[in-house]
Amino acid sequence: MDQLPKLTSIIEAAQHIVIVQADNPDGDSLGSALALEHILSDMGKQTSLYCGVDMPGYLQYLEGWDRVSNELPKQFDASIIVDASTLNLFEKLQQSGQQPWLAAKPCIVLDHHEKVERVIPFAEVLINDSHKSSAGELIYTIARELNWPLSVAAQTNIMTCILGDTQGLSNQLASADTYHVMGEMVAAGVDRPALEELRRESSKMPQPILAYKGRLLQRAEFALDGAIASVSVPQVEIKEFSPLYNPGPLVQADMLQTRGVKVAIVFKSYDDGKVTAAIRCNPGYGIAAELAEHMGGGGHAFASGFKIETSKPFNEIKSECLSYAETILTNQDMGTENETIQHTY
């Protein structure tokens, strides 16, 4: 990491650092932000937490979620953007006119996504290591390298990052290094069972959401002989149910648990023509980053997404996405077959 000296210089010179998440917060982004808040506070720094949207309910088991503000502080010396390195994910920041505030001060980006478009141009330090399971694991590695303080509270949040992006250590994002880091954090005092119980309790759904989940799953569509599962959510349902539970996390785990399903996609369509999609993949079928990149988005192999704001009809966008997903999976299967044949001979 040849940018660590510059990163160290920025942090040492700053007294007030704002930690920034993109408009699609998840366990990795919030966990990374809270971990850095603990680390930097223990280094004597003043910190603020920013995200352009409210924290979703399923993340509110993490102590400190309510310290995240939709407004940048009026005065700060530097910023650290976590779990995102593309301007595409900062629509709220741009719409509010606050982006120039961020660009006017030294900015550090810490990310791990392998497919990125429109890289943040004003970042003075960009560390994007796709070999890390999560932004949280990257922060842990940097903290160890630079001898930053790693309290149990900071490491608890980092564990949340890792568990979130590796789907509970079940996909290929979890490397040998990831397991080593998890072991070190457990040895340091992080209580994984307690963390899991907090997550489970927070994820419990109101009764109306259970009924809505059933309706969503009934609407699930399947393509490529059941390898691709998708469901579409119109704005009227987004408005009614999203304040209670995000439709994506509500059904994607069940879609991926369906026999034969390799990829699960949740589309959201808005009245103004905007279309978003959350893409999740089962272990062994990590096509999410490639698919999202094709559609103008980004992410990593097992969890990615995209947002399209054009006059193009929703059904055309959906059809293009599903068609490209079929192409990638078919090519992947053909590559596996060819490799098997080569090994046979």
Q: Could you read off the pLDDT tens digit of each residue along the chain, which spans 345 residues?
A: 789 999 999 999 999 999 999 998 989 999 999 999 999 999 999 999 999 999 988 888 899 999 999 999 999 999 999 999 888 889 899 899 999 999 999 999 999 987 666 789 999 999 999 899 999 999 999 999 999 999 999 999 999 999 988 888 888 889 999 999 999 999 999 999 999 898 888 778 889 999 999 999 999 999 999 999 999 999 999 999 988 888 988 999 999 999 999 999 999 999 999 999 999 999 899 999 999 999 988 888 898 889 898 889 999 999 999 999 999 999 987 765 555 444 444
Sheet holding 303-309, edge to edge: 221-223, 228-234, 263-269, 274-281, 303-309, 298-300
- Contact between 288 and 301 under an 8 Å Cβ cutoff? The reply is yes
Does one domain contain both 80 and 168?
A: yes
Domain limit, last residue, from 200, 218, 239: 200
What are 240-261's pLDDT values in tens digits?
A: 998 888 898 899 999 999 999 9
Buried/exposed 62-91: b ≥16 CB within 10 Å, e otherwise: bebbeebeeebeeebbbbbbbbbbbbbbbb
Domain count, the chain: 2
The confidence score (pLDDT) of residue 327 equals 97
Does one domain contain both 158 and 275?
A: no
Does one domain contain both 320 and 257?
A: yes
Does one domain contain both 232 and 124?
A: no
- Report strand pairing: 263-269 vs 228-234: parallel
- Report strand pairing: 274-281 vs 298-300: unpaired
What's the Cα-to-Cα distance from 203 to each of 60, 79, 196, rounded to whole Å?
9, 31, 10
Q: Hey, which residues does 265 pair with through a beta bridge?
A: 230, 279
CB atoms within 10 A of CB 96: 14
Buried/exposed 125-155: b ≥16 CB within 10 Å, e otherwise: bbbbbbebbbbbbbbbbbbeeeebebeebbb
What are 273-311's pLDDT values in tens digits?
A: 999 999 999 989 999 999 999 998 888 889 888 989 888
Structural domain boundaries, residue 327? 207-344
- State the chain's maximal CA–CA distance in angstroms: 67
